[in-house]
Amino acid sequence: SQQGEEDPQALSIQEGENATMNCSYKTSINNLQWYRQNSGRGLVHLILIRSNEREKHSGRLRVTLDTSKKSSSLLITASRAADTASYFCATVGGYQKVTFGTGTKLQVIP
Amino acid sequence: DAGITQSPRHKVTETGTPVTLRCHQTENHRYMYWYRQDPGHGLRLIHYSYGVKDTDKGEVSDGYSVSRSKTEDFLLTLESATSSQTSVYFCAISGQGVHTEAFFGQGTRLTVV
């Protein structure tokens, strides 16, 4: 089974609203990363949070990490139509093994 | 884009034939990965490499083998292709250091008929 699972699987919001995606994982990690994938394209890195960090910000992105619950969340504030994409969490363990969750498909309606 | 090239980008092959996908990088990164992406499953790790000739299995390694004889190339071989291996395959690389991001290739769409 996969290391990470995301929730919800799909999310549809109006432009300007905030979008929150959650990720749960199973094993210990060195860091957790979030990626974005536009349809038919490769993944693009968004943000990385280390296992000893609890919160991190980058522009309109806010990531939290709770290692005791083995969970993370990604918040996109003031969403735009261009944010429409699939979002994946990835956990990084020993030997830089990178495993991905199942993804959240976000649709932002103009 | 990071210097990653996957080849071929598209391939149709017959059941039972061997297939090799190539990932080539120009970044001199230590780590390389092969994933497959299927609807409802996200990205699943097939194999990865943490150095030349150093590889390990991922979540879905059955039916796949890999080789890395030099830093820049990571080959994924489907020993005897099956229809269940129809998928989009992504290669990724990441550099030295614990807290580094991964960079992805554009993907290879493989259809096994």
* Amino acid making up residue B44: R
Percent of chain B at pLDDT exceeding 90: 88
Q: Under a CB-based contact definition with an 8 Å cutoff, are residues B61 and B77 in contact?
A: no
Q: Which of A3, A31, A42 lies at the smallest CB-CB distance from B104?
A: A42
B1 has pLDDT over 60? no
Report the alpha-carbon distance of residue B96 to residue B108 in Å, rounded: 26
Is B45 an interface residue toward A (CB < 8 Å)? yes
The tens digit of pLDDT for each residue in B15-66 reads 999 999 999 999 999 999 999 999 888 899 999 999 999 999 999 999 999 9
Structure tokens at A34: 């979030």
- Mark the ranges of chain A whose per-residue pLDDT is less than 70: 1-3
Distance CA B85, CA B111 (A): 8
Q: Supply the pLDDT for residue B40.
A: 81
Interface of A with B in 12-51 (CB under 8 A): 30-31, 33, 35, 41-45, 48, 50
